[in-house]
Amino acid sequence: MTDTPLATLLFPFERGLIDPPGEGERVLFLGAPGGLLLPSDFSGSLTAIQGYRPDYLALSQAGVTVEPEPVGEGYDMALVLLGRHRRENEQRLAEALNRTRAGALIIAACAKKDGGGSVRKRMASLVELEDHASKHHGVVFWLRRPERLEPALMAELSAGDSEADGFTTAAGGFSDDGIDPGSALLVECLPDNLSGAIADFAAGWGYLSVAAAERAPEVKSIDLYEAHHASLEAARRNMAARAPQMPARFFWQDLLGEPVNERYDVILMNPPFHRSRAAEPDMGHAMIAAAAQALKPRGRLFLVANRQLPYEESLQKHFAAQGELRRDTVFKVLWARK
């Protein structure tokens, strides 16, 4: 989440192409990064929107007013950081249009590697842009919020499908286009004797939790932990729709930075191993350590990972027993016991 085109977004202000917000003006910042530093001449009142828990915590600790989901209306300006997920980008642009006053300036930036040029051209086909620029390996464009938001425009920006494989998914979250093949393999390998209190670490939109609830009658409860707020809300809806009989709790939590206070008989996980494009196996190692801490004595862990990731060494370090259940050409399913 730190790989953002913030410098590109701020370029028009630095060059005097756009005036910074003045005293008393209200600014909405959609996708604000955790390491946010705004120019000293930004005098407006800022509300940041950030659903990724580590960035949310960083903004909060820096004294920024931050919410996980868009709030308020009638803003005088909107700043929008865009990424590689088209549906999430268009949701953010729709929110910027909906929550600003008529005539408010909306400034959006996207890295070129994430298709910044294409995003600008698409927006230009939907609404008149005031101007654009390229800088810092990204594209920034800006427009005035129209007096009237045409229904066709808003329908176009909101047209992204939020359903896949019969589940509600979350734009910008993990596997937002359907069931992840690794998670599907893990479900195939789960034993039928799962029981007691279960946790789903990095739960995404809840596929593993739904599967566990459907196939293991001795499961008493499921707690879902997820750092991406929209994914957790999708998981809440999926559990209510697909496993309404299962007691479930939902924790918007950074498992790499916030301790787990509960203890479990079983933990399931498809651990993330990258924050941006670069692989970071240490994330998986840290999640395995967190799972070991959160399991009861003789508690069991089941996880799926890409074949090349060396998670066996962490399992050996933190667990009394561990092994492999299955592998295919891409993934491996591992188990461990405290």
Model confidence at 239: pLDDT above 90 = yes
Asked whether the beta carbons of 208 and 186 are under 8 A apart, the reply is: yes
Task: Say how far apart CA 150 and CA 153 lie, in whole Å.
Answer: 5
For 264-304, write each residue's pLDDT tens digit.
999 999 998 655 444 567 899 999 999 999 999 999 999 99
- The pLDDT of residue 164: 83
DSSP state for residue 112 in the 8-state scheme = G
State whether residue 279 is helix, strand or coil.
strand
Q: What percent of the chain has pLDDT over 90?
A: 89
User: Within 10 A of 331 (CB to CB), how many other CB atoms are there?
Assistant: 20
Task: Say how far apart CA 187 and CA 200 lie, in whole Å.
Answer: 12
Higher pLDDT pick, 162 / 50: 50
Task: Say how far apart CA 116 and CA 160 lie, in whole Å.
Answer: 18
Asked whether the beta carbons of 335 and 323 are under 8 A apart, the reply is: yes
Task: Report phi then psi at 31, rounded to 5.
Answer: 80, 25
* Average pLDDT score over residue span 232-248: 97
**Residue labelled with tokens 């079983």:** 266
What type of residue sits at position 187? V
Set out the domains of the chain in order of their start, with CATH numbers.
Answer: 6-157 (3.40.50.150), 163-337 (3.40.50.150)
The residues that bridge with 334 in the sheet, in sequence order, are 303, 324
Tell me the pairing of strands 26-30 and 331-337. Answer: unpaired
Asked whether the beta carbons of 96 and 108 are under 8 A apart, the reply is: yes
Asked whether the beta carbons of 199 and 208 are under 8 A apart, the reply is: no
User: Within 10 A of 162 (CB to CB), how many other CB atoms are there?
Assistant: 17
Residue 165 confidence class, pLDDT cut points 50, 70, 90: confident
- The pLDDT of residue 282: 87
